[in-house]
Structure 1
Amino acid sequence: LERLKMVLAVLPDSKLIAELYKIRGNGRNDWPCEAMWNSFIASFLFEHPTTDALLRELRRNSQLRKLCGFQPKCKKQPDGAYKIYVAPSKSAYSNFLKNLMACQEELDRMFDALVEFMYENLEGFGEHLMADGKAIQSYATKLSESQKSGGRGEHDANWCKKTYTSSGENGEKKVKTVKWFGFRLHLIAEARYEMPVAFKVTKASNSERTENQNLLKTMKEEKPERIKKCEYMMEDKGYDGTDHITWLEQEGIKPIIDIRNCWKDGEETHRYQDTDLVYDYKGTVWYVNEAEERIKLAYKGYDKSTDSLRYGFKPQYQDNRIFRIKCEEDRRIFTPVARQSYKWKRLYNERSGIERMNGRIDRDYKFEKHTIRGLDKMRMFLTVSFIVYLGMAKAKIERGQKEHLCKLYA
């Protein structure tokens, strides 16, 4: 209950409540919109997997009802007897969720206001961003053939098949295929604080790279200062592509993106122009001497004036020559932060934060096993999940706490 008080006190929800009353209009007003909204927030904090579980807790827990704002209702029955209701019925709560889905724009504004709070109150927030796509399986297993099924049928989800390729200890390729029916969450998050910055929910088959690029372009149009503040973007090899990397570099963002082997000629190395240097698709560079021996070169830094990477011999060779490879040779391979540098590896390790965020979405917010159907409802539930995620962090910050901000628990 203390956690719920913390979160409710910091949420900028006044406009949302006003919109909910506007939608309700002259309809039944048995249960205040504030109480319904507060209880919905409580369902995320207390990890209730379904609406039924929340309603059972409300009927049992008088302290929770009081904190949310519910007052008992006494109604006369057809037989003349009186019955006391202490919590909403399932149908009343379903109507509330339907009205809340119509308030998606207000929910989006709440989410953005909380993200803006993080930019203003956390040092360096937004300098290191990371992106990933997350599969969210539908509660259903196929599209509903009947339009009469309404909210009980799945009419929006589709199938997606994703193939993962990795290399074994002996260099052999291992292929793993994952197939699911449902939706996909496209998420951009702050790497060091592990907090969401922007997201989009689509059908499962939508391209991760395309939707991620759309999110970044929208951010540039609506919040250009956030793009300007970003220094590094960490992503896995699914986002590897010349067009995406070029766009990031044009915006002053250094791409830290794992690479796919797109060489079709079967060669292990390519020669750099008309020189004695060769390189592989991962960006490792060698010098080939007169005896046709390859000597691995050490990375010496990025030369911004010529947009090139500097390489040289290791100390034991007693050779002070410096070689430059222009990034335009292949912008996927030669990025401003060299792939073979310790800095690249350190920054790419920060991307593991988004895997932890995905785990919290599944584990703490119950999306691993849910009963949500429909794209609009899925979007609404995920938006409120991130509002609770950021709301808990804001409450901790206002109390002077700067550690464990991304955890659901205080």
Structure 2
Amino acid sequence: MYLLQGTLFSFEEWLKIESKDRLPLFFETLDLRPYVKEMKKSSPQGARGYSREAILRAFLAAPMEEISTLTRLHQRLQTDLRFRYQCGFRLDQGIPSISTLSRVFQQITARGLAEKLFADLVEECREEGILDGKHVAIDSTAVDAYEKKKPKSNLSKKNATWGSKFDSHGNKITWFGYKVHLAVDTKSELPIALEVTPAHVNDGDLGPALMEKAARSVPDTFRYVMMDGGYDQVKNYETAYDLGAQAIIPLNLRNEKEPPAGFSSDGTPRCSMGFEMVYWGRDQHRLKFRCPHAAGKVDCPHGTAWCSSSNYGMVQKVDIRDNLRRFSLPHRGSRNWKKLYDERTSVERCNGRLKENLTTNDLHVCGISKGTTHVYLNAIVLLATALAVKKTQASKEVA
């Protein structure tokens, strides 16, 4: 059973605000001028006379208005004067053509401006106390692509591919497109790092890169990272440990026939009578386990005398560094471990908002570079709306 986590920012509350009022609040939180300066034209052709800031605003407003194609964005700017004005276009001029919008989108992609804006907003959210990055959840989600389908033999690192996975009911799901690998702050359910890959890429293989990216976004606070069993690979535990964090991942026993001698599968030591010892806390890098008879968990026919002369019973300590995958702080299966793992649902809810409330899963651009820009623009909306809500609440308190 999953426990719903209380969050600091509710995107659902943001969606209740009238559409005509959302955009002004949204854009008040964003200073796009530094990014617009990097959008200088490389040739005399293109968007002469059109504000690059207004075009960038339109790209950011599109996910909130469920606009997923440049054609639909052009139509909305053409028919909705309020939307055009709120994006920053002059009403006494025409609007940029679809080809102009396409060129600017390519420019944003080539210069990595969406990723830069995303990183700056993560930092601003940290400064405002909206997220802290102590607890991070990682998972991937499938994204369909409207590209020409290719056989599996022609897998590419730059374009959409075929992918498959099993859902929570054991059903196999197949799709053509990409995967969005997301690291989410569990306190706020906001994204702090992401990667986009072709659909066939294994989740566990992206774990180290995503953890390193998340740790750079929230330096000095990264403590726990929650992932599902698909990430149960030694390299993910080692990366988390090297970053000063603990990976909270359920063991995927695969074809393991027997656990290591003297231990159960989850790393719990067994006493000389074969009973699982009782987890009794930690001592720095060591897990402490106590005699199950002395702890009142089993009725051993030999009592505590079999293993110890003390009424406290035998105590065994296990250094997690002996096997980072098998041993965990807190101990895997303990109440604290389960509580931490329950926070993993925050990344599922974040993925749901990106795909159901915004346009992440309505991808109409070709190639992984443009697809990544599309995903970043959606993630930026979540961060900017959190800032907008925080600043709106602060202004009401002052008033």
Interval containing the TM-score (normalised by the shorter chain): 0.7 to 0.9
- Using the alignment, how far apart are the partners of 2:47 and 2:334 within structure 1? 64
Task: From 185, 204, 227, give the equivalent of 2:180.
Answer: 185
- 1:187: how far off? 1.5
Deviations 1:261-294 (A, max 9, x none): 0454x23x4432xxxxx41x233554353xxxx5
Task: From 218, 224, 238, give the equivalent of 1:232.
Answer: 224
- Using the alignment, how far apart are the partners of 1:155 and 1:340 within structure 2? 40
Residue 196 in 1 paired to residue 186 in 2?
Answer: no
Tell whether the 8 Å contact from 1:157 to 1:182 is kept in structure 2 after alignment.
Answer: yes
Tell whether the 8 Å contact from 1:131 to 1:186 is kept in structure 2 after alignment.
Answer: yes
- 1:86: how far off? 4.5
Tell whether the 8 Å contact from 1:143 to 1:155 is kept in structure 2 after alignment.
Answer: no
Tell whether the 8 Å contact from 1:256 to 1:344 is kept in structure 2 after alignment.
Answer: yes
- Report the counterpart of residue 399 of structure 1 in structure 2: 392
- 1:124: how far off? 6.4
Residue 161 in 1 paired to residue 169 in 2?
Answer: no
User: Normalised by the size of structure 2, how large is the TM-score?
Assistant: 0.80
- Report the counterpart of residue 252 of structure 1 in structure 2: 244
- Report the counterpart of residue 121 of structure 2 in structure 1: 114
User: Normalised by the size of structure 1, how large is the TM-score?
Assistant: 0.78
- Root mean square deviation of aligned Cα: 2.9
- 1:296: how far off? 4.0
- Report the counterpart of residue 298 of structure 1 in structure 2: 278
- Using the alignment, how far apart are the partners of 1:135 and 1:108 within structure 2? 20
Read off the aligned partner of 1:209 and give its amino acid letter: G
- Report the counterpart of residue 309 of structure 1 in structure 2: 288
Tell whether the 8 Å contact from 2:81 to 2:91 is kept in structure 1 after alignment.
Answer: no
- Report the counterpart of residue 17 of structure 2 in structure 1: none
Q: Closer, same or farther in 2 for the Cα pair 1:66/1:228, shift >3 Å? A: closer
- Report the counterpart of residue 97 of structure 2 in structure 1: 89
Gaps of 5+ in 2: 1-19, 152-156, 305-311
Tell whether the 8 Å contact from 2:130 to 2:188 is kept in structure 1 after alignment.
Answer: no
- 1:326: how far off? 3.5
- 1:383: how far off? 1.3
Tell whether the 8 Å contact from 1:7 to 1:392 is kept in structure 2 after alignment.
Answer: yes
Corresponding residue SS for 2:142: strand
- Report the counterpart of residue 367 of structure 1 in structure 2: 360
Read off the aligned partner of 1:257 and give its amino acid letter: I
- Report the counterpart of residue 326 of structure 2 in structure 1: 333
- 1:358: how far off? 0.9
- Using the alignment, how far apart are the partners of 1:401 and 1:257 within structure 2? 38
Counterparts of 1:6-45 in structure 2, within 5 Å, are 6-23=25-42, 25=44, 27-45=46-64
Counterparts of 1:350-389 in structure 2, within 5 Å, are 350-389=343-382
Task: From 61, 70, 82, give the equivalent of 1:51.
Answer: 70
More strand by share: 1
Tell whether the 8 Å contact from 2:29 to 2:387 is kept in structure 1 after alignment.
Answer: yes
- Using the alignment, how far apart are the partners of 2:172 and 2:46 within structure 1? 50
Deviations 1:64-86 (A, max 9, x none): 2222232356xxxxxxxxxxx75
- 1:60: how far off? 2.5
Identical columns (%): 24
Q: Closer, same or farther in 2 for the Cα pair 1:123/1:43, shift >3 Å? A: closer
- Using the alignment, how far apart are the partners of 2:57 and 2:47 within structure 1? 19
Corresponding residue SS for 1:48: coil
- Using the alignment, how far apart are the partners of 2:383 and 2:249 within structure 1? 27
Read off the aligned partner of 2:287 and give its amino acid letter: S
Read off the aligned partner of 2:183 and give its amino acid letter: I
Aligned pair count?
357
- 1:372: how far off? 2.6
More deviation, 341-350/366-375: 366-375
- Report the counterpart of residue 67 of structure 1 in structure 2: 86
Q: Closer, same or farther in 2 for the Cα pair 1:286/1:157, shift >3 Å? A: same
- Report the counterpart of residue 283 of structure 1 in structure 2: 267
- 1:9: how far off? 1.7
Corresponding residue SS for 1:180: strand
Q: Closer, same or farther in 2 for the Cα pair 1:329/1:245, shift >3 Å? A: same
Corresponding residue SS for 2:316: strand
- 1:298: how far off? 2.4
Tell whether the 8 Å contact from 1:309 to 1:326 is kept in structure 2 after alignment.
Answer: no
- Using the alignment, how far apart are the partners of 1:343 and 1:311 within structure 2? 18
Q: Closer, same or farther in 2 for the Cα pair 1:401/1:356, shift >3 Å? A: farther
Corresponding residue SS for 2:35: helix
- Report the counterpart of residue 235 of structure 2 in structure 1: 243
